[in-house]
Structure 1
Amino acid sequence: MRKIFFGKVKVEDATALLKFQKRGLTQELMHNLKYRGQQEIGTIFGAWLGLELLESASFKNIDMVIPVPLHPHRKRKRGYNQVTKFGQEIAAVLQVPYFEDGLTKITKTRSQVFKKRLNRFSSGNGATDAYRLTDPSVINNKHILLVDDIITTGATLENCASILKGASSVKVSLATIAIA
């Protein structure tokens, strides 16, 4: 997963728990989490990955977990951010704070599911002006674990990581449930 970000944004480390394949079990689980309200899937995967991260030297010095945010309109419509339980559980296992409001999504965009990488950047979906760091002082001098549900092109995580790195002396690592 680190290779996706090479030369784009510096990340300390990056990992994904599962490999996403269309019409596979991972796709079914991700759809159940994201669209069918089965948030316990995030809790299970967060606990699993959290234990894996405890064993990794690269993730031992995480200071805080921050999720990729949803736009408030989408969150109201869905009723939850599909990454919340995943991130909260990782934070609990690592015994670090979970900062739900570290980033906010300020631009309402369409789903990126069917867009290619270039379109994700050029259309504003994942562009750096789509997200805002709420309070840089909270993350200054910290190693942040940025979490999301799935990584396809890396555009969203790349832009969120870039914004987090705008704070003073911030290190960013990435973790997702799945990688496409």
Structure 2
Amino acid sequence: MLQTLWTDFLTLVFPESCMACGEPLGKQEHLVCLSCQLAMPQTQFHLQPNENPLAKRFWGKVPLQHAFAYYRFSKHSRIQRLLHQLKYRNQPEIGELLGFWYGQQLARDGFAGQFDMIVPVPLHPAKQRKRGYNQADYIAQGMSRGLNVPALPTALTRLVNTQTQTRKHRFERYENVKGVFATHNANLLRGQRILIVDDVITTGSTLETCAALVLDCGCQSVSVASLATG
């Protein structure tokens, strides 16, 4: 009881702020306030997992089972602020929380039991050492809990420390990731239904490359998901 009172006192004096809007969090809120949670625009792409605008970006490039993203990305939005803090402000728990929410939503809407393994897009070891973590690993951990599916962060490795994709056009992005990835243990992927996850999908070049590599390992099917897409 004393511990609870002390925690309540600290929260009153030094309230935690919402990572999306900066307003103080309520007692039962964690990282993101309920107002922001309700306001961030969801894509609902998983309700049309094969024919939504994101899935169409991969048509004719790589045969995906499903392709979906949780939120719609726009500049100066709540989701952009969250993703910026996730990647650059040492807040990996944001990825785990949003991944958990998304995993729960997918499970509620019929995707429970449709995947055997969740594989995060890897960072190059040098970049991961500098950042301290791979944000996709935390997203995968959250989705793993929400979907009750194991995550395998070591399934893929990044061989080349590529330049940032942010300001590149589609062809430049594709050229930037050719030959970048490799499988760590192809036998673990063979015959499995794989869900590859990342933080943001723009042109889809990175996930296209990863998906093709996983398919070459003989997996049963491959799907892709992200927290956001433009």
User: Same fold by TM-score, threshold 0.5 exceeded?
Assistant: yes
Identity %: 39
Does the alignment pair 1:107 with 2:160?
A: yes
Q: Distance in 1 between matches of 2:149 and 2:68?
A: 18
Q: Partner of 2:147 in structure 1?
A: 94
> Which position in structure 1 is the counterpart of 2:198?
148
Residue 224 of structure 2 corresponds to residue 178 of structure 1: no
Partners of 1:120 and 1:98 in 2: how far apart?
27
Q: What is the rounded CA distance, in whole Å, between the counterparts of 1:73 and 1:169 in structure 2?
A: 29
* Alpha-carbon distance in structure 2 between the residues aligned to 1:149 and 1:111: 14
Q: Which 4+ runs in 1 deviate beyond 4 A? A: none
Residue 59 (structure 1) shift: 5.8
Q: Which has the higher strand share?
A: 1
* Counterpart residue type for residue 221 of structure 2: K
Q: Pick from 26, 34, 46: which aligns with 2:99? A: 46
Q: Secondary structure at the match of 2:191?
A: coil
Select the structure with the greater relative contact order (CA < 8 A; seq sep ≥ 6).
1
What aligned pairs does 1:58-73 form with structure 2 within 5 A after superposition?
Answer: 60-73=113-126
Q: Distance in 1 between matches of 2:143 and 2:81?
A: 22
Scaled by the length of structure 1, the TM-score of the pair is 0.94
Give the counterpart letter for 1:47 in structure 2. Answer: F
SS of the residue 1:83 aligns to: helix
Q: Which runs of 5+ in 2 are unaligned?
A: 1-53
The aligned amino acid for 1:11 is L
1:14 Cα shift?
Answer: 1.1
Question: Considering only aligned residues, what root-mean-square deviation do their CA atoms show, in Å?
Answer: 1.2
Of residues 82, 94, 100 in structure 1, which corresponds to 2:135?
82
Matched residues, number: 177
* Alignment pair present for 1:116 and 2:169: yes
SS at match of 1:21: coil
- How far has the Cα of 1:145 moved from its partner? 0.6
Q: Does 1:126 align with 2:173?
A: no
Decide whether the 8 Å contact of 2:118 with 2:151 is kept in 1: yes
* TM-score (normalised: structure 2): 0.74
